A and B are shown apart, each in its own frame.
Chain A
Amino acid sequence: MLDVKNLKVRVEDKEILRGITLSVKAGEVHAIMGPNGSGKSTFARALAGHPGYEVTEGSVTYKGQDLLEMDPDERAREGVFMAFQYPVEIPGVNNAYFLKAALNAKRKHQGLEELDAMDFMALVKEKAKILDIDEKMLLRSVNEGFSGGEKKRNEIFHMAVLEPALAVLDETDSGLDIDALRIVSQGVNAMRSPDRAFIVVTHYQRLLNYIVPDYVHVLSDGCLVRSGGRELALELEEKGYGWLEAAPRLGSGQAVVGARK
C-alpha cells in the first residue's frame, strides 16, 4: 500500500529525515518509535503533506500513485488520514458540520453520493457510541475548549467516520490517561482490517500493549536504526533508546523488513 524510499525531509533548512525506507502492506500495523527529536512526527507530517515539511529526496508511492505529487486534501480524499499530535481548534465550526464536509468531499471524490444530514447523523451517532463520545461533542466547535484527551479522542472519531485506507497516528497516546488510552485503542483495534494499514507513531511502548503492532521501527536522528517485531518495543522499554544509539545504522536504500511477530 505504501512504499517509502530514501525519504529525506527538511524543515526550515534543517534536514530532519535523512533517508527513510519503509514498506507497509494493507492489513499491517507499523509502529514508529524513537527518542524525542528523532523525526517521528516529521515522518507523519510529511506523509500527510504538511506545507512546512519539504521533501528533498526520495519517493513515496501510495496505492501505486506518487503521494508527494498530491496536495494534502487530495491525499486525504485518496484515503490517507493523519491523527494530529496537536489537533487544531476551529472556532464557530461545529464538529459534525466539519466532519460532514470532510466525508462528503471524500465520497464525492470516490464517485459516491453525498450523505444528507439525516444519514450522516445516523452514521456519526453509531461511530460516537463505539468511541464513547458524548453527542454534545458533535455540536461543539471543532476542538474548541476540548481537553487534551477529548481532542485525541475526537481525532480517532474523525478517523472512524472517514474510514481511511492508511491511518497515521501521530503520538495519539500522549496526554491520555489510562481510560482514554483504552478507549482510543479499542477504537483503533475495531478498525483494523485486511484492507487498512496503520502507522502508529509513539514515544512509549505503553500504547503498543493495546494496539499490538506487526512491526516496530526505531528512528534515531532521522534514520531508521532498527526494525523488528513486537518484541523490539518491549526490549526498548527495558533498555531505553540509549542502547540503540551505539548500534549500527541501517543504510538508506536498504529494504527494512522486520521479523513476523
Chain B
Amino acid sequence: SEEEEEEEEDSEGGGRKAMDSGNCSEEESEGSEVDSPLLEELGSKVKHPKHKEKALEEEEEEEPCFETAGELRWKEGLAQKASEAFLRQQRSTPNLRKLVYGTVAEESEEEESGGGELGGLFHVSRPESEKRRRADGLDCSHYPPDATRDWDQQEVLDSIRDCFVTGKWEDDK
C-alpha cells in the first residue's frame, strides 16, 4: 500500500505542477517567488499610466484630466482580479511533504560546491547566504505571526468567528 501511496502523491504533485508552476517550489526560497508573477504583472501595468498621468499633471495642472479616463481602464475590476489571483494561489497549496522532506539531498550538494578554496591556500569568503544564516539562527520554538493579518479589521475578525462556541455550529452538533 505504501508504494501506492507514493504513486498517488507523485501524480498529485505532478498535477498541481501542471496547474500552477510557481508554487510547488523547492524551499524557503519560494517566499519572494510565489507572489512575484502577480506583482510584476500589476507593477508593469501600474507604472505606465502613472508616469503619463504625472507628466500630464505637471504640464497643465489646473485642467482636470478627463481624457485619461480611457487609459485608466486597467483599473477596472482590480480588486476582483487581485482576489482571483489570490484564490488561485490559495488553491495550489504547496506540496507540504515535498517542502518538509524533499530538500535534504540538495543541501548537501550545495555544501560540496560551496567550500571553494583557491589554490588550496586561500579560502573564498562569501557573504552569508540565507541557508547559512538559518543554520546559525536563533533556536526558538515560537512561530512569529503573519503580519499581513490586521486584527483591527472586521473581516479579519470574522474569519475566526466560528472558532468560538458563540459562533455558528454545524448541523450535526
A associates with B: no
Binding site for B on A (CB under 8 A): none
